[in-house]
Structure 1
Amino acid sequence: MEDILRQLSVILRGMWLYRWWGLAAAWIVGPIAAATVYLLPDRYESSARVYVDTQSILKPLMSGLAVQPNVDQQINILSRTLISRPNVEKLIRMADLDLTVKNKEEREALIASVTKSLEIRVAAGRDNLYTLAYTDTDAERAKRVVQSLVSMFVESGLGDKRKDSDTARKFIEEQIKAYEQKLEEAENRLKEYKLRNLNTVGTGGRDYFSKMNDAGEQLNQAKLALREAENSRDALKRQLTGEEPVLLPENPSSATLATVSVPELDGRIEALKKSLDGLLQRFTDQHPDVVGARKQIESLEAQKIQEIKARRKAAPSGGSAMGSANANPVFQQLKMSLAEAEANVASLHARVAEYESRVQSLNASSRMLPQIEAEFTQLNRDYDVNKRNYDALVARRESATMAVEMGATSGVADFRLIDPPTVPSKPAAPNRLLLMPGAGLAALLLGAAISFLISQIRPTFSDTQVLREVTGLAVLGSVSMLADPDRLRNLRRGKIVFLGGVGALVGLFSAMTVWLMLARMA
């Protein structure tokens, strides 16, 4: 600490030797600084306060139905990004600040100056209260700029919301169209799949297995009915053989032969006739199936005639037996029942064959069932995903539309101009009452700095210790100078003059400060 004080003492004594240089520099710089402070142009600040009301009674009522944007965050971002180059250029045009601009350099300087002078402040504790301010040398121009800035602030908020809503709706519409196309493609794939596998699967594998079970049950029922019909036919045959034999006349005619019953052939002929009736309902007489059925009937009828003739030849007696057989009503009834039983058996044979064919076809198709089910599951999954996304997008579009209509009806954010911009009557800058003492203090500090620099450039040794430290040599002694009365008088006079010069400089700046204060109060 002692060394620090000693070094400080050495520095001050060196500065004291060159005090007149410092005083001269202070007197040169001081008046210039005072004149500069006095001649600084007045800058007027015009401001306006805007309150943004983001609370709406419709917001809680429409919660869950319409999109609820974060209006507070939007306004906060807007206030931070409003002072941008495009907005500043627009503001310059709105406020007619570019009327005197002649070239690109001047325009760039004007943009930089306006950007620096614009300010948006948020009130402490009030996030929705904004102060828009602008400082300029022309009070009227400052008011005009602030008024334009308020208009831009309000329009930017509403315009951005409308732009964001339109952009969102346009994006959703594009996505909806894309998903509509995907749904159409998925529906077409499902349609083609169902048409391709219509005979195998109805709407799923469960229907296929149900169809197989039904076909199996139908086949079993048909086989059971066939066995019942065959048993019934066999019983009729046994009953018929227990009655009187069929006796034919010696020279029967074709009509007579036609009335004679041969159970084995009559059943087949009756079945073919029923089948022929079904074919005639679907085809013409020239159809190959119809022609083939008729040939079979003719063949069986010819065979029946031959059978009757053969029985006639084998019969032991003639006409009286024939009459007795034909007169037996039980015998005739049994023949009719046997014919019906033969026809029924033939029909059931055809039904059993058809059901067996169906079951074989279903069994053959069942090998492809896992692949078909996997394909159907994949198609359903793709369709369900696209359908859910499509429904969600449609719901969001309706919600966005409702939000836009809600904002257009009541306004999600209400901009209220609390304090409109006015023409300032007094300048806001520069603060000469603060700058003038500062300029005086700066002049004194500059003078002290000049004295210090000269003392460092032209150092002196104030005592033997400093000389010994600088040279590194031993100092044997020192010679003191005794001042006579005249020298002491001159030294005293010099101190007074120096202090008077410093006091005069301080008094000058103090007088200027008092004068400025009185001028402001006037």
Structure 2
Amino acid sequence: MEELVRQIIGYLRGMWRYRWWGLLLAWVIGIGGAVVIYLMPDRYESTARVYVDTQSILRPLMSGLAVQPNIDQQIAILSRTLISRPNVEKLITMADLDIEVRNNAEREALIATLMTGLQIRGAGSNNLFTLAYSDERPERAQRIVQSLVSLFVESGLGGKRQDSDSARRFIEEQIKNYEQKLVEAENRQKEFRLRNMALIGDGGRDYVTQIAQLNQQLAQARLELREAENSRDALQRQLVGEEPVLLPQTPNPSTVSIPELDGRIDTLKRNLDDMMQRYTDQHPDVIGAKRVIEQLEQQKIEEIEVRRKAGPAQFGSLNANPVFQQMKLSLAESEARVASMRARVNEYESRLTQLQASAKMLPEIEAEMTQLNRDYAVHKSNYDSLVARRESANIAVEMDNQSGIADFRLIDPPSLPIKPSAPDRTRLMPLAGLAGLAAGLALTFLISQLKPAFSDSRSLREVTGLPVLGTVTMLSTPERKRARWRGLLAFGGGVGGFVGAVIAATVALSLIQG
């Protein structure tokens, strides 16, 4: 600490030797600063206050139906982004400032001046804004502020309308896109269902349901087939040992009657007529019945030929045994039913085999169907949401057209300043005085460092590293004392005069501005 104090004292002693140079520089800077401050042109500030009312009675009533933007946030952003180059160029035209512009360089300078000079000051969260601008001519400052107020209101309304229109156009485009996606998804579902109709099922029936129903039908058909076969076998056992049936010899089979065959053929033809009313020619029962009829007719022809060759002795009439004839007819009907049921069983077995062969494809088909349904559901959900948002946006636009997004109220119109607002000479003058004193001190310190001197033997010994044998002091005579006091008084007077001059200039400038 002692070393630091000694070093500071050494600096002050060195500066004291060149105090007159510092005082001279302080006077020069002070006088020059006073002249500059006095010659600075006056600037007049015009201000206007605007209140933005963002509260509307329709907004709470339309809550949940219309889009509710954050109007306070929009106004705050508008106040911070209003002073941009496009808006400033528009303001130049509105305020007729382009009349004074002669070339592009002057126009760019004017734009730069306005962008730095225009001010929009907010008053917290009360939506109260102060618009201000300073200019050398008060009427031009007023005109610029008036144009800024108009621009502030127009930007707030126009920007909202542009945002609403852009949002609605975007929503319309998205709705058209999702309409196309929905149509494509529906077409994919339709094509998939047509390709896999047999496996997907009919009327909500799935693959497992079809297999179960087909197994049940097959089991029922097999049961009926076994019943028909048992009935036929019983009739055949009853006919064993009965009188053989002989036909008279005749060359025309159509005129020959063999009751057991004719009865079966007639029964099958009646059944065929009934089936033709219910089924097509390609139905398995119809095909089986036709095949059995053809076989019985061929058997009849062969039987007639065998009996004709056997001779007339074999002819006889079976009409004498009605029980035998009735049993023959029942046997024919049983054989026809057996043939029909066997064709039905074969058909059901073929269908079941086909479904079982397609069992490996079922998981893949179900996964694809699930994916198609999921894609369609996503597109449908997004489409419905976009349509709802479009209607909400339309309601919000209509609400804004009725009530406006905000009510801009001009509290204080742009003022025409009478007194200059800048420069504040009463503050600048003391600063100029302080700047002069600071410059004088800096000059004395710089000179003392450029022309150093030793104030005591200790500093000399530390710098040179040589031993100091002794010092010679200057005797203080009365004449030197008087000269020293005169120098102190002169320096003090110079410093005091500088301070007094600064104070006097400050008072004079305050009186001039007042």
Which TM-score bucket, shorter chain as reference?
0.7 to 0.9
User: Is the 1:266–1:342 Cα contact (8 Å) retained in structure 2?
Assistant: no
Q: Given the alignment of the two structures, is residue 388 of structure 1 paired with residue 381 of structure 2, yes or no?
A: yes
Matched residues, number: 506
User: Is the 2:259–2:329 Cα contact (8 Å) retained in structure 1?
Assistant: no
Task: State the distance in 1 between where 2:254 and 2:424 align.
Answer: 146
User: Is the 1:247–1:312 Cα contact (8 Å) retained in structure 2?
Assistant: no
Instruction: Label 1:11 to 1:57 Cα distance change in 2 as closer, same or farther (>3 A).
Output: same
Instruction: Label 1:376 to 1:133 Cα distance change in 2 as closer, same or farther (>3 A).
Output: same
Task: State the distance in 2 between where 1:305 and 1:216 align.
Answer: 44
What one-letter code is carried by the residue in structure 2 that aligns with 1:144? R
| Range moving further from structure 2, 360-369 or 293-302 | 293-302
Give, in angstroms, the shift of residue 233 of structure 1. 4.6
Report 1:486-497 matches (<5 A).
491-497=484-490
Q: Given the alignment of the two structures, is residue 442 of structure 1 paired with residue 441 of structure 2, yes or no?
A: no
Q: Given the alignment of the two structures, is residue 477 of structure 1 paired with residue 476 of structure 2, yes or no?
A: no
Give, in angstroms, the shift of residue 428 of structure 1. 1.6
User: Is the 2:260–2:325 Cα contact (8 Å) retained in structure 1?
Assistant: no
- Residue in structure 2 matched with residue 121 of structure 1 by the alignment: 121
Task: State the distance in 2 between where 1:14 and 1:234 align.
Answer: 147
Q: TM-score, normalised by structure 2?
A: 0.80
User: Is the 2:134–2:141 Cα contact (8 Å) retained in structure 1?
Assistant: yes
- Residue in structure 2 matched with residue 107 of structure 1 by the alignment: 107
Q: Given the alignment of the two structures, is residue 262 of structure 1 paired with residue 259 of structure 2, yes or no?
A: yes
Report 1:3-402 matches (<5 A).
4=4, 6-124=6-124, 126=125, 128-202=127-201, 207-233=206-232, 257=255, 260=257, 262-268=259-265, 270-272=267-269, 274-275=271-272, 299=298, 302-303=301-302, 305-306=304-305, 313=312, 324-325=320-321, 337=330, 340-402=333-395
1:99 counterpart SS class:
helix
User: Is the 2:51–2:128 Cα contact (8 Å) retained in structure 1?
Assistant: yes
Give, in angstroms, the shift of residue 375 of structure 1. 3.0
Task: State the distance in 1 between where 2:359 and 2:490 align.
Answer: 125
What one-letter code is carried by the residue in structure 2 that aligns with 1:114? L
- How many percent of aligned residue pairs carry the same amino acid? 58
User: Is the 2:268–2:293 Cα contact (8 Å) retained in structure 1?
Assistant: no
What one-letter code is carried by the residue in structure 2 that aligns with 1:382? D
User: Is the 2:261–2:300 Cα contact (8 Å) retained in structure 1?
Assistant: no
Task: State the distance in 2 between where 1:360 and 1:493 align.
Answer: 134
RMSD of aligned residue pairs (Cα, Å) = 4.2
Task: State the distance in 2 between where 1:359 and 1:8 align.
Answer: 113
Task: State the distance in 2 between where 1:324 and 1:462 align.
Answer: 173
User: Is the 1:276–1:293 Cα contact (8 Å) retained in structure 2?
Assistant: no
Give, in angstroms, the shift of residue 9 of structure 1. 4.8
Instruction: Label 1:342 to 1:495 Cα distance change in 2 as closer, same or farther (>3 A).
Output: closer
1:380 counterpart SS class:
helix
- For residues 78-112 of structure 1, what are the alpha-carbon distances to aligned partners after superposition, in whole Å with 9 as ceiling and x for unaligned? 33333333333333333333433334433333233
2:49 counterpart SS class:
strand
Give, in angstroms, the shift of residue 381 of structure 1. 3.2
User: Is the 2:259–2:325 Cα contact (8 Å) retained in structure 1?
Assistant: no
Which runs of 5 or more residues in structure 1 are unaligned? 284-288
Give, in angstroms, the shift of residue 130 of structure 1. 2.8
Which runs of 5 or more residues in structure 2 are unaligned? 282-286
What one-letter code is carried by the residue in structure 2 that aligns with 1:370? P
Instruction: Label 1:226 to 1:309 Cα distance change in 2 as closer, same or farther (>3 A).
Output: farther
Task: State the distance in 1 between where 2:473 and 2:486 align.
Answer: 25
Q: TM-score, normalised by structure 1?
A: 0.79
Task: State the distance in 2 between where 1:161 and 1:34 align.
Answer: 52
- Residue in structure 1 matched with residue 284 of structure 2 by the alignment: none
Give, in angstroms, the shift of residue 467 of structure 1. 5.3
